[in-house]
Amino acid sequence: MSPAIADLSVGDEVLRAQIVVDRARLVRYAGASGDFNPIHWNERVATAVGLPGVIAHGMWTMGAAAGPVADWAGDPGAVVDYQVRFTRPVPVPDPGSATVEVVGAVGALDEDAHTARIDLTVTVEGARVLGKAQAVVRLG
């Protein structure tokens, strides 16, 4: 069941999530997406092009940040618009993992359209990795 627009106010924090990514997840994502760019799995290539090391796919990061919004909405189909700006890569150490933190707050409400704009703060180790991340959710 989706949240009710009457129960929301601009500024309300509505979601908070942590998503862990490791090199194995990047390899699986590469297979699913067809994006086999070696900066997402080969340390030598990633550092040779000036990156801090292997980085997560930007589209993986964008998709991962949308998951908590769909969970909050109760239906992935309720997310009617989603956009981000890629601001910083997500380095993924080996061994180990990176944790993407997602916090969502109500940025705007449209009672006529029954939608809420959820503004996302998406960070890794306190640094924003997505900017102007916003999802519009149709509410029941």
φ, ψ for residue 126, nearest 5 deg: 85, -10
Q: Do 102 and 17 contact (CB within 8 A), yes or no?
A: yes
- Compute mean pLDDT per 10 residues along the chain, 140 residues long, and list them: 91 98 97 97 97 97 98 97 98 97 98 97 98 96
- Total domains in the chain come to 1
pLDDT at res. 2 = 76
Strands, sheet with 98-110, edge to edge from the N-terminal-most edge strand: 13-21, 98-110, 115-124, 127-138, 79-86
Segments forming the whole domain that contains residue 127: 5-20+57-138
H-assigned helices in the chain = 23-33, 43-48, 58-73
Q: Domain for residue 28, yes or no?
A: no
Q: Domain for residue 126, yes or no?
A: yes
Q: Domain for residue 37, yes or no?
A: no
- Angstrom distance (rounded) from CA 98 to CA 139: 32
* CATH classification of the domain holding 16: 3.10.129.10
Q: Domain for residue 71, yes or no?
A: yes
In 1-140, DSSP assigns E strands to: 13-21, 79-86, 98-110, 115-124, 127-138
Q: Domain for residue 64, yes or no?
A: yes
Q: Domain for residue 50, yes or no?
A: no
pLDDT at res. 76 = 96
Q: Domain for residue 42, yes or no?
A: no
Q: Domain for residue 52, yes or no?
A: no
User: 0.85 cut: is pTM over it?
Assistant: yes
